[in-house]
Amino acid sequence: MDDHQQPPSTMTSDNTLPIAIIHRLPRFKLPSPWAKDIFNPIEPSDPLYPIHRPSARIIIIIGPSPLKSEHLDHYPSVECVFGTSAGVDHIDLAECRRRNIRVTSAGSAFSEDGADYAIGLLMDVLRRVSAADRFVRAGLWPVKGDYPLGNKFGGKRVGIVGLGNIGTLVAKRLEAFGCTIAYTSRTKKSQVPYAFYPSVIDLATTSDSLIVCCALSDRTHHIINRDVMTALGKKGVIVNIGRGALVDEKELVKFLVGGELGGAGLDVFENEPEVPKELFVLDNVVLSPHKAILTPESFDNVRDVVMANVMAFFSNKPLVSEIDLSDLS
SS3 string, the chain, reads: CCCCCCCCCCCCCCCCCCEEEEECCCCCCCCCCCCCCCCEEECCCCCCHHHHHHHCCEEEECCCCCECHHHHCCCCCCCEEECCCCCCCCECHHHHHHCCCEEECCCCCCHHHHHHHHHHHHHHHHHCHHHHHHHHHCCCHHHHCCCCCCCCCCCCEEEEECCCHHHHHHHHHHHCCCCEEEEECCCCCCCCCCEECCCHHHHHHCCCEEEECCCCCCCCCCCECHHHHHHHCCCCEEEECCCHHHECHHHHHHHHHCCCCCEEEECCCCECCECCHHHHHCCCEEECCCCCCCCHHHHHHHHHHHHHHHHHHHCCCCCCCECCCCCCC
Q: Which CATH superfamily is domain 19-109+296-314 in?
A: NAD(P)-binding Rossmann-like Domain (3.40.50.720)
Mean per-residue pLDDT of the chain: 93
Q: What is residue 35's predicted lDDT score, i.e. its pLDDT?
A: 64
* pTM metric for this prediction: 0.90
Mean pLDDT of 223-251: 98
- What residues act catalytically? 243, 272, 290
Q: What is the pLDDT of residue 36?
A: 66
Confidence of residue 150 (pLDDT cuts 50, 70, 90): very high
CATH superfamily of this structure's domain 111-287: NAD(P)-binding Rossmann-like Domain (3.40.50.720)
d(CA 259, CA 263): 9
| pLDDT score, position 329 | 63
Predicted confidence at residue 19, as pLDDT, reads 94
What pLDDT was estimated at residue 164? 95
According to the model, what pLDDT value does residue 7 have? Answer: 38
**pLDDT at site 328:** 80
Q: Which residues of the chain are in CATH 3.40.50.720 domains?
A: 19-109+296-314, 111-287
Residue 96 predicted with pLDDT over 80? yes
**pLDDT confidence band for 34 (50 / 70 / 90):** low
The whole-number pLDDT of residue 33 equals 65
Q: For the residues 213-235, what does the mean pLDDT come to? A: 97
What was the pLDDT predicted at 136? 98
Q: Which of 14-28, 109-123, 250-264 has the lowest mean pLDDT?
A: 14-28
Q: What's the confidence (pLDDT) of residue 204?
A: 98
